[in-house]
Amino acid sequence: MVVVTGQNKVSGNPDDAMSTSDAEDDFQEPATPTATQAGQALPLLPQQFPEVVPLNVGGMYFTTRLSTLRRYEDTMLAAMFSGRHYIPTDAEGRYFIDRDGTYFGDVLNFLRSGDLPPRERVRSVYKEAQYYSVGPLLDNLEDIQPLKGEKVRQAFLGLMPYYKDHLERIIEIAKLRAMQRKARFAKLKVCVFKEEMPITPYECPHFNSLRFERSESETKLFEHHCEVDVSFGPWEAVADVYDLLHCIVTDLSDRGITVDHQCIGVCDKHLINHYYCKRPIYEFKITWW
């Protein structure tokens, strides 16, 4: 179809004719795209970085080589400074990362020369390495203390049924009692026992036979729940009651909770014949302020 502007007519059948304004509305295109249209049509160019990169990490300033940031290609830093993503700059032209920079220098030193942080900063640097996805640094930190010991500790706690749930119960009970009494602290009873079967002076000489030769009906006679707020156990490992107590106190302290504990005796519940429950009972004192 041919469109003629001005006084010219459209050739062809009258039914196919259309006004000049209709033709312009349907077919007229600008000769050149506007600036806005051009910006929308053209893809953004990759961001270019200098060989020496100035950084502003949460208000702390660092300077490093671009190759250092790209040392390991699977890290977040390598992706950020690959040119595929836009990194904003501050007023001085430093590339800005919106993250606390306290331990960024430790991450940077590992990328530079493989240096590892001192022990007191290992846990904090580990969190930064997780954020920046620096896998080699994570692997190195997991093989030194205190993270190496934490792996062993978690393996032990993995044997403990409902360990985290019991921690939460301790916190909730202590909070509720303190609020009810309008008190600065709260006390609760916690049972920590390693062996499932009761141990008494009468049972000890025949402990193995009693443990493995009891029938199901006899075993039920020994089923017992101590009158305490929370009960941990049983478990099968070399680690003993005191090791588990240390884990409980440590994990509560890591959550900012001050806790003291002392053994206040044993559960002396009579079970059957001369057998009594002898599980140790501890008093936990949670101080809130």
| Residue 99 confidence (pLDDT) | 96
Instruction: Kindly state the average pLDDT of the residues 219-240.
Output: 80
Give the model confidence (pLDDT) of 66-119 as tens digits: 999 999 999 999 999 999 989 999 999 999 999 999 999 999 999 999 999 999
Residue 186: pLDDT band (50, 70, 90) is very high
Look at the pTM and tell me if it is higher than 0.75.
no
Write down the pLDDT at residue 68: 97
Cβ burial of 165 (10 Å; 0-12, 13-18, 19+) is exposed
Cβ-proximal residues to 1 (8 Å cutoff; 6+ apart), any chain: 10, 12, 16
In angstroms, the CA 163 to CA 239 distance is 15
| Average pLDDT of span 137-143 | 96
Domains annotated for the chain, with CATH where assigned, are 52-144 (3.30.710.10), 158-202+224-287 (no CATH)
- The answer, yes or no, to whether residue 133 has pLDDT greater than 50, is yes
